[in-house]
Amino acid sequence: MRAFFIFLYNFNMKQNDRGSITPFFIIVITLVVIVGLIIFEYTFYKFNHSKQKAYMFSEMDAVMSTYHRKLFNELGLLAVRKEGLQSPISDHEVLSGQIKKIMEQKHLVKTITKAEDIVTEFIKRKSNFNVKVFDISHLNLQLYRIINDEASEVETKDFLTNLATVSMYAKLENISIDDLREMIEKMEFEKLKKLKPIFVIRPSIRKNIEEIIKAYEKYDIIGVYRHFILADYSVEYMGYNFTNEDHHLASEYIATGIENNTINKYIISSEIYLIRILLDFAETLSNPQIRKKIEKMSFGEPKLFAIVAVGVSALEAFYDTNRIIHGGKIPIYKGSDGFMAFHLTDKYYKRGFTYPDYLKIILMLNSRGTTLDRMLFAIKERYNIDPREFFTEISMKKMIVFKAKIIPFELKKIIKGRLSYE
């Protein structure tokens, strides 16, 4: 820096007679150089700062990527075992938060599937046009078969015909639907293989369904949805041992708190029986067909009607429970299908709730804290781990020291970072 000023001074002395360089010009040049150096040092600092942050996040990502594989593959829970991390899955809010995210995606798929059935039936009735709406996986399978020249001419023709309907609910990635149609018609399959087109649900549809769920949660004052999420997760991911013998603690344990499977079977059967007797008795009062039959059996006597209704409900509940624990379907409200108690032979319902569905109802009767405590104990026993040692979040602090390249100064700064499985 000093050499630069000496150069300017000497140059000025040589050119002084001509008056081409003035002290003002020297000052301007000096300021430009200083500003340039500051900009250079600041740019270098920003680059170094970004590089250090990138290194830190790369380090945190390396830690978080070592999650417990079996826990994730079987239960969908992401957690890593390492000292100094935050948010253990033993914390109720952390565990329930992860479960909520898992089940939101599952319910999103279920809701879309239900919408598929409704819209498909509507289109079929109105236009006699049979098309599977929202079936994204089937749609992508058809596209894969066409691109790989495995589809028949009829399948390809049907696919192209359905593209007009598909565009209402599906978005095509990497290519437009018009270009896809044109390339299929020209049989340019090699080009399509390179483009790798894929159908996804339109973001607007996904967003609308998510908004519906949020609105429901907002007005769910008594917390039915929160309880249902835990019950649904328990049955779908922890499993159940009633019809499938398993040594792991499963949903029956979470429902009762008892580890013995045999005792659990009796308790769960009794609880299903109580649920069914209440539902069947309610139907004897609300279903006109059932009510009429019971009035006939009780000869129109109100007192006798109550006794007969309880007796019929108890008998029907016994049939229901037996059918449920053997894998059968029993609807909540039987309607025109009627009671099994009024038939001489076994009656099979086409639709209805199965054992896992009734188990969810029983689980919903538990408090949230009880369900989560038992779930954590079941996880501990199944994987031989301590949930208090498995974390879902990492935070880091790092001191960086910046030494300027030209201007003699040193700058220290603390950078912070956080990564979580949320």
Dihedral through CA 24, CA 25, CA 31, CA 34, nearest 10? -140
Distance in angstroms (rounded) separating the CA atoms of residues 39 and 26? 20
Q: Is residue 70 part of a domain?
A: no
Q: Say yes or no: 61 and 144 in one domain.
A: no
Domain that holds residue 33: 2-65+395-420
Residues 287 and 170 grouped into a single domain: no
> Tens digit of pLDDT for each residue in 238-271?
888 875 555 678 899 999 999 888 888 899 999 9
Most confident range (mean pLDDT) of 22-36, 41-55, 92-106, 351-365 is 351-365
Percent of the chain whose predicted confidence (pLDDT) is above 90: 16
Residue that finishes a domain, picked among 168, 202, 236: 202
User: When comparing pLDDT for 132 and 55, which is higher?
Assistant: 55
Let me know whether 346 and 409 are in one domain. no
72 located within any domain: no
Give yes or no: residues 180 and 329 share one domain.
Answer: no
Given a contact cutoff of 8 angstroms between Cβ atoms, the answer to whether 117 and 158 are in contact is no
Mean pLDDT of 169-179: 83
Ordered DSSP codes for 49-109: HHHHHHHHHHHHHHHHTT--HHHHHHH----B--TT-EEETTSHHHHHHHHHHHHHHHHHH
Strands 170-173 and 410-420 turn out to be: unpaired
pLDDT for res 158: 81
**Judgement on whether residues 188 and 275 belong to the same structural domain of the protein:** no
In contact, 294 and 308? CB cutoff 8 Å: yes
Domain total of the chain:
3
> How large is the angle between the packed helices 203-218 and 224-233, nearest 10 degrees?
120
pLDDT at 356: 92
pLDDT digits (tens, 9 = 90+) for 70-84: 888 888 888 888 877
Left, alpha or beta for 233 (phi > 0: left; psi -120 to 50: alpha)? alpha
Which one, of 243, 382, 398, 250, lies nearest residue 323 by Cα?
Answer: 243
Choose between 27 and 357: higher pLDDT.
Answer: 357
Judge if 126 and 247 occupy the same domain.
Answer: no
**pTM of the full structure:** 0.67
Q: Which helix (H) or strand (E) holds 256?
A: helix 251-256
Q: Which residue has the tokens 């000052």?
A: 27
**Residue 71 has which token pair?**
């826990």
98 occurs within a structural domain: no
Q: Do 406 and 321 fall within a single domain?
A: no
Considering the domain architecture, whether residues 160 and 246 belong to the same structural domain is answered as no
The radius of gyration of the chain's CA atoms, rounded to the nearest angstrom, is: 35
Whether residues 191 and 284 share a domain: the answer is no
